[in-house]
């Protein structure tokens, strides 16, 4: 990919009027490229530049606006961070896609690839798990200058930002359709002219499309045996999938199911974790009050170390997908008196 050095300076905060700087860059000598240098250059740009060592590979991890990406240096010795590379690759994206998301994002990738002919966006499948990858390669057998690297890195950040906008727009359009279908199913299930079979079909179709609200409703139905055979296992499955999408009601449902399961230490801590999340994220009302009561009951049963573990797990919990947008709630320990044992015992 040819790099316009004037553009690279503008991207780095320079102005077109700084012609002397452009000339200096044009005359700058190339330097060898390796993983160690890439990590330092990313840090110079103000990004995270973490050098990571694998069994037979090393690379740099970085991020922009919360989107993680990696930078690989293709050299004769991939495990040596100081081995000179002939090319580098920026690679990032998003995981946790449903098969429905994957099919929908194929069109997003096609449009992205048409707009950015020197980059590549793909949907990747691995044992029924899907992710979206955005890659940018740069060929540099003779090394490169700092400013050329800065320009390539800036370009990749621009690519990630563009793909983020495209996926958010696609998510918003699709989510609106799923919400409308879910609300229709609720009316069909519980309305005056109830048709549970039709409502279940919509819930299941929505769940297959990745909508957490319908997954949560299925969890409720299986937990209580309403219109379906009662199954704690099926309820836990749907609650867990909905919890991955940031559904507060699913946190509460999963806490209920786990609290009634065969008790061991790990399950008790997990139940407390979800009760903590539910008591934080549910809106004010009866469900929130019940979640707080369950939280207190479960925390009382834990020892002080397990209480700390449950709180730590809850505070570091991150859904795969935020269907309702970013959470604005405070940390878990703001809603549980600290130390918890002093209040919950």
pLDDT tens by residue, 123-166 = 888 776 788 899 999 999 999 999 999 999 999 999 999 888 88
pLDDT tens-place string over residues 179-212: 888 888 888 888 877 888 899 999 898 888 778 8
Q: What is the pLDDT of residue 294?
A: 94
Would you state the pLDDT for residue 258? 93
Residue that wins the pLDDT comparison between 2 and 182 = 182
CA distances 77 to 86, 243, 258, Å, are: 11, 43, 49
Whether residue 344 has pLDDT greater than 90: no
Q: What is the pLDDT of residues 298-340, one digit of tens each?
A: 999 999 999 999 999 999 888 776 554 333 333 333 333 222 2
- Mean pLDDT in residue range 253-263: 87
What's the pLDDT at 110?
87
Query: Which of 11-15, 280-284, 334-338 is the least confident region?
Result: 334-338
Q: Read off the pLDDT of residues 105-123 as tens digits, 9 standing for 90 and up.
A: 787 888 899 888 889 999 8
Which pLDDT does position 135 carry in this prediction?
Answer: 96
Res 337: pLDDT: 29
Q: Above pLDDT 90, what percent of the chain?
A: 47
Round to whole Å and give the CA distance between 157 and 175: 26
Lowest mean pLDDT among 39-43, 104-108, 276-280: 104-108
Distances (CA, A) of 264 to 19, 76, 269: 69, 50, 9
Q: Which residues pair with 170 in a beta bridge?
A: none
Phi then psi for 309, rounded to 5 degrees? -65, -45
**Higher per-residue pLDDT: 334 or 25:** 25
Q: What percent of the chain has pLDDT above 70?
A: 81
| DSSP 8-state symbol, 332 | G
In this structure, are residues 293 and 245 in contact, taking their beta carbons and an 8 Å threshold? no
The pLDDT score that the predictor gives to residue 321 is 62
What average pLDDT does range 50-65 have in this prediction? 92
What pLDDT, on the 0 to 100 scale, is given for residue 304?
92
**Which of helix, strand or coil describes residue 191?**
coil
pLDDT digits (tens, 9 = 90+) for 217-231: 999 999 988 778 889
Average the pLDDT over 22-47 and give the result: 82
Distances (CA, A) of 89 to 61, 74, 125: 12, 8, 20
**Strands, sheet with 119-126, edge to edge from the N-terminal-most edge strand:** 50-53, 58-64, 67-75, 85-97, 129-139, 119-126
């Amino acid at each position: 990919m040819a790099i316009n050095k004037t553009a690279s300076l503008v991207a780095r905060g320079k102005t077109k009027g700084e012609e002397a700087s452009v000339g200096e860059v044009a005359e700058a000598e190339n330097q060898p490229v390796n993983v160690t240098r890439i990590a330092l250059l990313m840090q110079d740009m103000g990004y995270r530049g973490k050098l990571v060592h694998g069994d037979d590979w090393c690379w740099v991890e970085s991020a922009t606006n919360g989107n993680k990406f990696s930078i690989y240096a293709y050299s004769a010795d991939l495990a040596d961070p100081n081995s000179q590379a002939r090319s580098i690759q920026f690679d990032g994206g998003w995981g946790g896609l449903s098969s429905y998301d994957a099919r929908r994002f194929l069109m997003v990738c096609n449009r992205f690839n048409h707009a950015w002919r020197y980059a590549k966006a793909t949907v990747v499948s691995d044992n029924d798990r899907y992710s979206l990858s955005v890659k940018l390669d740069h060929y540099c057998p003779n090394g490169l200058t700092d400013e050329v690297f800065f320009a390539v890195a800036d370009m990749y950040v621009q690519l990630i930002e563009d793909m983020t906008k495209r996926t958010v727009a696609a998510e918003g359009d699709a989510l609106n359709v799923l919400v409308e279908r879910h609300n229709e199913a609720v009316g069909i299930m519980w309305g005056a002219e109830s048709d549970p079979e039709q409502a279940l079909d919509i819930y299941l179709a929505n769940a297959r499309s990745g909508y957490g609200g319908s997954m949560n409703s299925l969890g409720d139905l299986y937990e209580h045996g309403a219109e379906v055979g009662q199954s704690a296992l099926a309820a836990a499955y749907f609650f867990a999938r909905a919890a991955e999408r940031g559904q507060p009601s699913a946190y509460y449902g999963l806490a209920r199911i786990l609290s009634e399961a065969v008790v061991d230490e790990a399950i008790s801590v997990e139940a407390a974790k979800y009760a903590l999340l539910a008591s934080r994220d549910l809106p004010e009302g009866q469900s929130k009050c019940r979640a707080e009561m369950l939280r207190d009951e479960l925390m009382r049963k834990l020892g002080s170390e397990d209480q700390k573990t449950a709180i730590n797990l809850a505070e570091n919990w991150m859904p795969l997908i935020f269907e309702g947008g970013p959470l604005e709630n405070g940390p878990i320990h703001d809603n549980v008196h600290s130390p918890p044992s002093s209040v919950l015992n």
